[in-house]
Amino acid sequence: MGDVDPDHLHLTEVHRFPNTPVRLGPTLHWDVLALHRGVLDGLAKAGEPLRSVGIDSWAVDFGLLDRTGALLGNPVHYRDARTNGISDRFDHADLYAATGIQPLPFNTLFQLVAARDTPQLAAAHRLLLIPDLLTAWLTGHVAAERTNATTTQLLHVTGHWATDLMTAVNIDPTLFPPLCEPGDPRGTLLPSVQAETGLNAVQVTAVGSHDTASAVVGVPAADENFGYISCGTWSLVGVELPAPVLTEGSREAGFTNEGGVDGKVRYLRNVMGLWLLQESMRAWRGASLPDLLAEAEKQPPFASVIDPDAPELLAPDDGRRGPMPDRIAEQCRRRGTRVPTTPAQVTRCVLDSLALAYRDALHDAQRLSGKEITTIHLVGGGARNALLCQLTADVCGLPVVAGPVEAAALGNVLVQARAIGAIEGDLADLRALLRATQPLHRYEPS
């Protein structure tokens, strides 16, 4: 819950709930009804007075609704194997020229092609991305928020749905709702939601509903010459631009042009993030993260290095792929670097490899976009990781400003506050409020 005025910005966590995928047979799903229950419980705990609600989430995944608005099965997780090999059927250069989006294997386009002959898709009347689905359950209002819609690989760079592409691959264009912008009103809480939460008819406001779009609003940059790393399960590394970069060199370098708030472009590369460490800790049951980081700091730097974006590291351990530490060790063995054998060595390997990947992504972002970077802002959960922040400053040779940790929530709240008139201004004004109110830590390169 955000409390915002022109001189004040305070965030209070009122509720937190797990988001646990569920495997049913061979398919990995999201338990979206449990997420909806968590949202309702959180709203009930927030209580009155509440002026606005906004939802952001991860990208690309969706729910399918029938003509009555009923959900047709639980949404499938983007880490599910159903899209394996699907993107290879497409001309990536043509897709990039049309959409500006890097053809990643889990993009919505490829998920829909993988689902093309399923009964659910045959019965579907409407497709809603996850934050739009949850918003529709709160208000009954159906729309697709633009920043998240860009990640589907089904939105043309000109800003409209790519119906020609949909038709070419036998996807029904009428599945996709009208677009809306961050700051647009999305209706008020339904009477049934009011009864569940004890709230009145509170407005729901569209925000940058892709969490990285909200997180980039939450970057406390003092000028335009910044690079950002939104570091959580994934790391999104890039710069903010006024227009997309659609060159073949950009595509070959793995960059994507995702929508941002106020018409900006989030020019970025996806880098596997702290997922590698999270999955490793799942294998080391009971491991303490502070202890692991303290021990990792004592390890020799860059003794073990991996490609954090290697395909074999994408999926969770399902009994076939093996624990993440074993997969990391095997890649080190193939690359000829030291094979990590202890949790501390694996942790140091992950952090060293991420820092190097960040350096390469930021270097390429400057080269391809012409945008100078003088400061790196690292936001999200990774901002708590002092070793990762210092390593990033060291290998990039630039200062790293760490924080805020809850950048996505803060960016979400700021867009809502501006929409309802609690504050005014452009992105620079919103970021000035962040710098004045949020704790930040600066790491200088050694």
CB 358 within 8 A of CB 229: yes
Return d(Cα 87, Cα 36) in angstroms, integer. Answer: 31
Q: Does the annotation count 211 as an active-site position?
A: yes
3-state secondary structure of 235: strand
Q: For residue 153, give both structure tokens.
A: 């690989």
- Kindly give the pairing relationship between strand 226-231 and strand 234-241: antiparallel
Which listed residue (211, 291, 318, 426) is catalytic?
A: 211
Over the range 149-158, which residues count as b (16 or more CB within 10 Å of their CB) and which as e? bbbbbbbebe
Give the residues across from 268 on adjacent strands: 238, 256
Helix (H, G, I), strand (E, B) or coil at 185: strand
| φ and ψ at residue 111, rounded to 5 degrees | -60, -40
**Residue 207 near residue 415 (C-beta atoms within 8 A):** yes
Give me 52's structure tokens. 């606005």
Distant-in-sequence, close-in-space partners of 294: CB < 8 Å, separation ≥ 6: none
The CA-atom distances, in angstroms, between 423 and each of 180, 378, 414, 416 are: 21, 25, 8, 9
Q: What is the set of active-site residues?
A: 211
